[in-house]
Amino acid sequence: MQSPFRRGSYAGAIALPSPGLPNSRSARRLPPLTPCRENVNGDVVHGASIFAPAGAPADAIQTLSLFVLAITGIIFVIVGGLMVYCLVRYRRRSDDDGREPPQVYGSNPVELAWTVVPIIIVFVLTTTAIRSTYEIQAAPPPPDSLQVRVVGHQWWWEFQYPALGVITANELHIPVSDPAHPTPTYLTLESADVAHSFWVPRLAGKTDVIPNRRNIMWLAPAQSGTYVGQCAEFCGTQHAKMLLRVVVHPADDFARWVQAQRQPAARNPGAEAGRQVFEATACVSCHAVRGTGASGTFGPDLTHLMSRETIGAGAAQNDLANLRDWVEDPNRLKPGVLMPAMQLTQPQLDQVVSYLASLR
């Protein structure tokens, strides 16, 4: 009998708009990375350009970068221009007599100029860089700011909201921050294994995620939508598929998201068989489903799995066909992934996928 989860029958049930490529297997699986498209929720998906900052830290970094680029650009043009001029104007000619040109020594004004001008330039560049660094690094969190603990794993992101009782993975949800009344989100970054780096180019600079160390960063996006990012420190075979998304909500939307995430896992009588298979296999030693016996912490919390757009940390769209592929053999979508294939029979596979699909 044809399984309801086989590719084809449900393909497109949660499909995203075509990324403009042929609707091949691989094309359909790619998470949207192109700028400003709409995702399933109708949110705008923003690209990953460092030239389009969308929040306070990224704005400050861009302003500083353009300032440094302008000053160094002017120096480059002056020095390069003079050099080219001299090379052309004073090149060797056929009627050269081979004598040295007149030499200039001990000009106080010239020596003063080439000492003082570089000192001023270095001073200006240093102080503006220190000021921007200080503004970004030392900004104290407002008392009611949202705090999120980010844990980097090979190869996925864990997001814990200790004050809200929410744990999720790979897709960080935060409220929008109105520049007039900023409500920044503060991230504490830790690693469970090797060094990673948290980078969402449009929202902030990179911050390394290092074992046995806590780094801090903050985000204050001024515009809602989904921002894509990527682990930016080589962390093993699937470093390239350690993608991340930041979903920025208007305040009331964010409150609704938190409310939904706080609920224990939905209990669906139609998915009981799958729950039993799931709980009887080693799935539960790595994954947690709140409100059930599953309490593993090695892999992502699956309590509200279907609220996420992607699986495998952005390796594939979260639709039923991909989910089935993933559970059957995660290596197909993400070679080297630490989740093993559980060797389920085809009926068990359908039951487990049906259970996972009920975790909304």
For ligand CUA, the binding residues in 184-223 under the rule CB under 6 A are 196
Q: Which is nearer to ligand CUA, 157 or 278 (CB)?
A: 157
Cross-strand bridge partners of residue 249? 175
Single-letter amino acid code for the residue at 329: D
d(CA 36, CA 87): 48
Task: In angstroms, give the least distance from the CB of 191 to ligand CUA.
Answer: 8
Per-residue x/- track, 288-327, ligand CUA (CB under 6 A): ----------------------------------------
Tokens 């706080």 -> residue: 262
Task: In angstroms, give the least distance from the CB of 156 to ligand CUA.
Answer: 9
- Are 224 and 250 in contact, with CB atoms under 8 Å apart? yes
Per-residue x/- track, 141-180, ligand CUA (CB under 6 A): -----------x--x-------------------------
Please spell the DSSP secondary structure of 15-49, one letter per residue: PPPP-SS---HHHHHSPP-SSSEE-TTS-EEE---
Binding footprint of ligand CUA, residue count (CB under 6 A): 9
From the list 58, 66, 63, 65, the residue with the least C-alpha distance to 203 is 58
Q: Which residues 6+ apart lie within 8 Å of 161 measured at CB?
A: 146, 147, 148, 149, 167, 258
Q: Which residues 6+ apart lie within 8 Å of 118 measured at CB?
A: none
d(CA 246, CA 254): 12
Per-residue x/- track, 220-249, ligand CUA (CB under 6 A): -----------x-xxx---x--x-------
Task: In angstroms, give the least distance from the CB of 22 to ligand CUA.
Answer: 30
Task: In angstroms, give the least distance from the CB of 193 to ligand CUA.
Answer: 9
Task: In angstroms, give the least distance from the CB of 229 to ligand CUA.
Answer: 11
Task: In angstroms, give the least distance from the CB of 230 to ligand CUA.
Answer: 8
Q: Residues in the site for ligand CUA, rule: CB under 6 A?
A: 152, 155, 196, 231, 233-235, 239, 242
